[in-house]
């Protein structure tokens, strides 16, 4: 029996609500309650089909609810999550897991002590394009990986509760480590631009260095007038390269040109063949549904989800240090 309490039905919580309703109908979960302090919002989303409340403590007292999904403003993640764990519930919490490393460490410690699942919403680990690219990296299909880059650009009103590093950069810091199979990059450097609101950066440029000279770059911006909504990932390798447009859930682009050094009569020489770009279909899946399904599997099996609490803690640590010092270096 899996009973879920969704806390927070705002901009992003609406999408969680839609998926949980679907999963209830499909029998993936057995009970569902929505909660938001804004009654008109939660009532409308519940739509007469789902029970709702404006007090999350009602959910915590309910013995038929064994897990909560927290989609409230990020500074509330830890206080709400702590109450939920102390009430005996497993916790899914949107990213960033917390707004400070010290809270993230306390959160993880509490989950460990109480043997509860704590899963941060690192959504892009569940994007079907990323699933495919991870498979290809692990198979060695890229040959030698040279670099990865992401543009996550928009022209939209900046958030008021956090800047692009906690809101967007957290995705790349987590995802590049996941793809390359490491806990941390060897180093991260960051520059940011804060123009419109105090302490809310609207722009950031992130550079990560990994083993074997692999570089990762990312540009995160809410003030990009020529690229009103762009979110992508390119992985450049010696044997092939791949581009994922995150807005598309059913295809990736593969470039099969060879970009390497070969041995010739007069020693080694670089080869850059023309190659072609092919669009390759992948099974279409909504990343959020795959992510929430992984949470349900963890509740049932007690195994750590693909997006585990330790990755949530490390991502917050990297963002916090970059915002404080402009760089991050893992302690040995």
Ligand X SMILES: NC(=O)c1ccc[n+]([C@@H]2O[C@H](COP(=O)([O-])OP(=O)(O)OC[C@H]3O[C@@H](n4cnc5c(N)ncnc54)[C@H](O)[C@@H]3O)[C@@H](O)[C@H]2O)c1
Residues 183, 187, 191, 192, Cα dihedral to 10°: 20
Q: Between residues 75 and 114, which has the closer beta carbon with respect to ligand X?
A: 75
Q: How far is the CB of 112 from ligand X (least distance, A)?
A: 22
Q: Between residues 159 and 237, which has the closer beta carbon with respect to ligand X?
A: 159
Euclidean distance between CA atoms 19 and 25, whole angstroms: 10
DSSP lists the bridge partners of residue 216 as 148, 208
Kindly list the residues in this chain that would bind ligand X in the complex (CB under 6 A).
Answer: 7-13, 35-38, 41, 56, 71-74, 76, 94-95, 121, 123, 167
Q: Between residues 41 and 116, which has the closer beta carbon with respect to ligand X?
A: 41
Q: How far is the CB of 53 from ligand X (least distance, A)?
A: 9
Structure tokens at 241: 């390269």
Which residues fall within 8 angstroms of residue 195, CB to CB, at 6 or more apart? 202, 203, 223
Q: How far is the CB of 67 from ligand X (least distance, A)?
A: 16
Q: How far is the CB of 264 from ligand X (least distance, A)?
A: 48
Euclidean distance between CA atoms 330 and 173, whole angstroms: 13
Q: How far is the CB of 22 from ligand X (least distance, A)?
A: 18
Q: Between residues 38 and 64, which has the closer beta carbon with respect to ligand X?
A: 38
Q: Between residues 55 and 211, which has the closer beta carbon with respect to ligand X?
A: 55
Residue 161 and residue 197 in contact, taking contact as beta carbons nearer than 8 Å: no
Q: Between residues 84 and 254, which has the closer beta carbon with respect to ligand X?
A: 84
Task: Give all strands (DSSP E) within 99-172, no chain letters.
Answer: 118-121, 145-154
Q: How far is the CB of 56 from ligand X (least distance, A)?
A: 5
Residue 76 and residue 85 in contact, taking contact as beta carbons nearer than 8 Å: no
Residue 69 and residue 92 in contact, taking contact as beta carbons nearer than 8 Å: yes
Residue nearest to ligand X (CB): 10
The C-alpha R_g of the chain, in whole angstroms, comes to: 21
């Amino acid at each position: 029996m899996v009973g879920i309490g969704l806390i927070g039905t705002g901009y992003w919580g609406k999408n969680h609500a839609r998926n949980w309703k679907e999963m209830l109908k499909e029998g993936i979960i057995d009970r569902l309650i929505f909660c938001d302090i804004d009654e008109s919002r939660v009532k409308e989303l519940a739509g007469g089909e789902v029970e709702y409340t404006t007090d999350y403590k009602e959910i915590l007292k309910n013995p038929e609810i064994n897990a909560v999904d927290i989609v409230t403003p990020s500074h509330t993640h830890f206080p709400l999550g702590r109450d939920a764990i102390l009430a005996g519930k497993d916790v899914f919490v949107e990213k960033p897991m917390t707004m400070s490393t010290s809270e993230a460490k306390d959160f993880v410690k509490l989950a460990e002590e109480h043997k509860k699942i704590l899963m941060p919403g690192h959504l892009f680990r569940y994007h079907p394009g990323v699933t495919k690219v991870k498979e290809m990296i692990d198979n060695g299909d890229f040959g030698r990986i040279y670099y990865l880059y992401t543009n996550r650009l928009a022209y939209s009103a900046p958030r008021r509760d956090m800047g692009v590093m906690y809101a967007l950069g957290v995705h790349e810091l987590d995802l590049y480590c996941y793809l390359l199979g490491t806990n941390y990059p060897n180093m991260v450097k960051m520059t940011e631009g804060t123009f419109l609101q105090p302490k809310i950066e609207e722009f950031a440029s992130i550079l990560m260095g990994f083993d074997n000279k692999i570089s990762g770059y990312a540009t995160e911006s809410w003030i990009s007038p020529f690229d009103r909504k762009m979110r992508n990932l390119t992985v450049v390798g010696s044997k092939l390269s791949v581009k994922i447009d995150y807005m598309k859930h059913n295809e990736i682009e593969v470039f099969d040109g060879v970009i390497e050094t070969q041995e010739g009569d007069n020693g080694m020489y670089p080869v850059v063949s023309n190659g072609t770009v092919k669009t390759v279909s992948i099974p279409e899946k909504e990343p959020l549904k795959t992510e929430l399904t992984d949470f349900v599997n963890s509740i049932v099996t007690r195994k750590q989800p693909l997006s585990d609490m330790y990755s949530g803690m490390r991502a917050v640590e990297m963002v916090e240090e970059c915002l404080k010092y402009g760089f991050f270096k893992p302690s040995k």
